[in-house]
Amino acid sequence: MHEYDRKNLFIDGQWVAPGGTDTIEVIDPATETVIGSVPDGTASDVDAAVAAARRAFDPLITVAERRDRLARVITAMEKRLPDIAETITRELGAPVRIAQGVQTQVPLAVARGFADVLETFEFEERVDNSLILREPYGVVAAITPWNYPLYQVVAKVLPAIAAGCPVVLKPSNEAPLSVFELIEAVDEAGLPPGVVNLVSGSGRVVGERMAEHPDVDLVSFTGSTAVGRRVAELAAQSVTKVALELGGKSANVILDGGDLATAVKVGVGNAFLNSGQTCMAWTRMLVPENRYAEALGLIEAAAARYTVGDPFDPATRIGPSASASQFATVRGFIERAQRDGARLVIGGAEKIRDVGYYVAPTVFADVDPDSELGQEEVFGPVLAVIPYRDEDDALRIANGTAYGLSGAVWAENLDRAVAFARRVQTGQLDLNGGSYNPLAPFGGYKKSGIGRELGRAGFEEFLQTKSLQLPVPPTARVTVFR
């Protein structure tokens, strides 16, 4: 039974009334109707949650206790995944096949990945006469976006629990209901009070207070580069560590000799996944000039197969944009791209359904790499196709944005794909259709972020390093400083 009108926040192990009376309405983007609400928290709510997290912080927590907490949360979360998937479809407009798949099964795989990392991680290491310790970083403020509401929370809260770090979490305003259901699972798991706290609310109030709070030790934020810059600015006032996973404008580079048909099919699917609302989407497809016409035919045919419709219809492949504001943003990008001279292959900015924030899957050809569409993140089902002359030209275009989050390379053999990928300035690349790995580090170069998520690297973000210099036997002493 879903509860979509949330009255309370989760602080210090209890569901408690917020400090204020304001609420945030949650809109179903497929119907444009209000389906629920969450509290619009206050700065005092953040202060209470941070204080609870500070009381819960035990820097000497045992690894056995961390494993137990993590296992209990994963078990409780897994039982609720069908309900969470339904909620994500309602609040985000994610088609059921996406909600029941990537929106919930990938977070489960990521959670299990952190359990695997914790099982084998060495928290102490001897280096010559030093004992190197890896200790919990402290209180974590986690601020998450709306596009993958469960995944984004799991990628922050689960490694924090594994590291021994209490968390204060702020979900997005557009898709917070599934996060409340996850926190109910956390409550059911029976963690000590204060280990996980939930405060919903506006970024301007709740998010900013979390980022600037002097008793927060680490801020982990996922969202736009502009907001990430603001988070870093506020955290710097207290010299607080930040981990930022920000925007992307990733290139899908099809080298001459690569499997064009497969590269197009996979590339279009990647660009349109989750209605294009994916930070790591391959939104620029780079095609050699001598195969450009062939590629455009394949791209148009592939895009035409992406059915737009009711998210609860199993045949639907693309649901609505997540909100009215995102809908307007995407349509604005499409209209400006046409004015800038890009050639519309399929789709467009016209409203395609009377109700709902639906954008047609859209492909532009002849996109100038330096234009707005070639440079900026759209966060909608919009693909830019760009021809290139030779491999050096492809590399220049691939690296020619402020972002560096993800991408792909297709070549006639893996050696050539690897050689090209080594020169691409981005944090993650799929080569010749390489599959997703929840244990591999994920994060960006340049303005796509700071730090890494997932696997061992993502776990280590939540750990401090301490060196204990031990006495050296007299016969082994060396002079280090003169």
Q: Contact 110/155 with Cβ under 8 angstroms? A: yes
Q: Contact 454/112 with Cβ under 8 angstroms? A: no
Angle subtended at Cα 59 by Cα 55 and Cα 65, rounded to the nearest 5 degrees: 90
Q: Contact 101/434 with Cβ under 8 angstroms? A: no
Residue positions annotated with a catalytic role? 245, 279
Neighbours of 263 (CB within 10 A): 25
CA-to-CA distance for 48 and 6, rounded, in angstroms? Answer: 19
Which residues does residue 16 pair with via DSSP β-bridges, in sequence order? 9
Question: What are the residues whose beta carbons fall under 8 Å from the beta carbon of 394, sequence distance 6 or more?
Answer: 253, 255, 286, 288, 388, 420
Q: Contact 367/355 with Cβ under 8 angstroms? A: no
Question: What are the residues whose beta carbons fall under 8 Å from the beta carbon of 167, sequence distance 6 or more?
Answer: 53, 139, 140, 141, 142, 156, 157, 160, 161, 195, 196, 197
Half-sphere exposure of 43 (CA within 13 A, CB side): 8
Q: Contact 444/429 with Cβ under 8 angstroms? A: no
Average pLDDT, 10 consecutive residues per value, the chain (482 residues):
90 98 98 97 98 98 98 98 98 98 98 97 96 98 98 98 98 98 98 98 98 98 96 98 97 97 98 97 98 98 97 97 97 97 97 95 98 98 98 98 98 98 98 95 97 97 97 64 42
CA-to-CA distance for 109 and 81, rounded, in angstroms? Answer: 12
For residue 127, the model assigns a pLDDT of 95
CA-to-CA distance for 442 and 450, rounded, in angstroms? Answer: 11
CA-to-CA distance for 346 and 301, rounded, in angstroms? Answer: 9
DSSP code per residue over 377-444: ---SSEEEEEEESSHHHHHHHHT-SSEES-EEEE-SSHHHHHHHHTTS-SS--EETTPPP-TTS-B--
For residue 1, the model assigns a pLDDT of 59
DSSP code per residue over 227-269: HHHHHHHHHHTTT-EEEEE-----EEEE-TTS-HHHHHHHHHH
For residue 481, the model assigns a pLDDT of 43
DSSP code per residue over 337-367: HHHTTPEEEE--SS--SSSS-----EEEES-
CA-to-CA distance for 210 and 203, rounded, in angstroms? Answer: 9
For residue 408, the model assigns a pLDDT of 98
Q: Contact 440/455 with Cβ under 8 angstroms? A: yes
> What phi and psi values does residue 360 have, to the nearest 5 degrees?
-70, 145
- Cα distances (angstroms) measured from residue 350 to each of 92, 119, 329, 353, 451: 21, 52, 13, 9, 39
For residue 480, the model assigns a pLDDT of 47
Q: Contact 6/180 with Cβ under 8 angstroms? A: yes
Give the pair of three-digit tokens for residue 307: 């059915």
The residue behind tokens 């192990």 is 13
- Cα distances (angstroms) measured from residue 320 to each of 119, 159, 258: 40, 31, 33
Rg (CA), the chain: 23
Q: Is 102 helix (H, G, I), strand (E, B) or coil?
A: helix
Q: Whole-structure pTM over 0.85, yes or no?
A: yes
Half-sphere exposure of 257 (CA within 13 A, CB side): 9
C-alpha torsion 459→463→465→466, nearest 10 = -140
For residue 2, the model assigns a pLDDT of 85
- Cα distances (angstroms) measured from residue 131 to each of 127, 137, 476: 6, 18, 17
383 Cα distance to chain centroid: 20
Domains of the chain: 9-246+448-467 (3.40.605.10), 251-431 (3.40.309.10)
The H or E element that residue 328 is part of is: helix 324-339
Neighbours of 364 (CB within 10 A): 26
- Cα distances (angstroms) measured from residue 28 to each of 34, 37, 38, 355: 6, 11, 14, 11
Give the pair of three-digit tokens for residue 90: 């309602």
